[in-house]
């Protein structure tokens, strides 16, 4: 006998939902059914939001952050400090830094990190744009490397430090140590080693 399955439009919807990051076949099925059955679901609203976001969002040509106009809201802001550029891996890394409320300079999004295994080489990252930005500065600029502390983040930081040597800039790196609210018993050895190395007078 022919096996009964979802009708074609539902299967097409499940197939599209399954492509989302972190969504498996079962979650996709649950979402599709929710869209069809829940009175709270508004598939037309999501449909519209998807198209609108894709059409209107571009990468800022200066820093790589999300922009709707020609430049992003950070690059457009005249009140921000031009003497500091915070280098991050992804455009999304700008948000947590902004939420911390402790940085008022500019950003530069590399668009990834060096990873030979994933075939990400320096040409794939927005590194030449960063060099141009530094060259365009008349006075010394502080380059704050806010990259992850994993192997690829370390490699990217070291590569950038090499590239920036001799330029009119001061290179710093965000501190590594014990996370806020975390006790010593949950910290791994590498974190504790770096926390000790980075100790400051109290």
CB 34 → its own copies: shortest distance, Å?
5
Number of residues binding to its own copies, judged by CB under 8 A: 67
d(C-alpha 73, C-alpha 57), whole Å: 12
Q: Which residue in 25, 46, 122, 182 binds its own copies (CB under 8 A)?
A: 46
| DSSP one-letter code for 3 | P
- Per CB under 8 A, which of residues 68..87 are in contact with its own copies? 68, 72-74, 77, 79-80
Stretch that binds its own copies, among 61-69, 125-133, 159-167, 186-194 (CB under 8 A): 61-69
Torsion of CA 86, 90, 94, 95, to 10 degrees: -160
d(C-alpha 29, C-alpha 6), whole Å: 10
Answer yes or no whether residue 101 interacts with its own copies by CB under 8 A.
yes
Closest C-alpha to 132, from 176, 167, 165: 167
Torsion of CA 27, 28, 29, 35, to 10 degrees: 110
Binding site for its own copies (CB under 8 A): 1-10, 12-13, 15-17, 19-22, 27, 29-38, 40-57, 65-68, 72-74, 77, 79-80, 90-92, 94-95, 98-99, 101, 104
């Amino acid at each position: 006998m022919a096996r009964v399955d979802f009708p074609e439009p539902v299967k097409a919807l499940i197939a599209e939902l399954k492509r989302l990051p972190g969504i498996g076949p079962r979650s996709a099925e649950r979402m599709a059914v929710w869209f069809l059955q829940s009175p709270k679901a508004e598939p037309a609203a999501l449909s519209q939001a998807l198209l609108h976001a894709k059409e209107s969002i571009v990468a800022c040509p200066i820093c790589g952050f999300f922009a709707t106009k020609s430049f992003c809201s950070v690059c457009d802001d005249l009140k921000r400090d031009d003497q500091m550029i915070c280098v991050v891996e992804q455009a999304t890394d700008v948000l947590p830094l902004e939420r911390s409320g402790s940085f008022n300079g500019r950003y530069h999004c590399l668009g990834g990190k060096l990873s030979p295994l994933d075939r990400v080489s320096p040409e794939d990252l927005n590194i030449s744009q960063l060099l141009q930005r530094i060259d365009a500065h008349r006075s010394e600029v502080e380059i704050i490397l806010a990259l992850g502390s994993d192997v690829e983040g370390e490699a990217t930081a070291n590569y950038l430090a090499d590239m920036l040597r001799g330029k009119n800039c001061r290179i710093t790196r965000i501190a590594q140590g014990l996370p806020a609210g975390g006790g010593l018993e949950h910290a791994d050895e590498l974190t504790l080693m770096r926390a000790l190395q980075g100790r400051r007078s109290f």
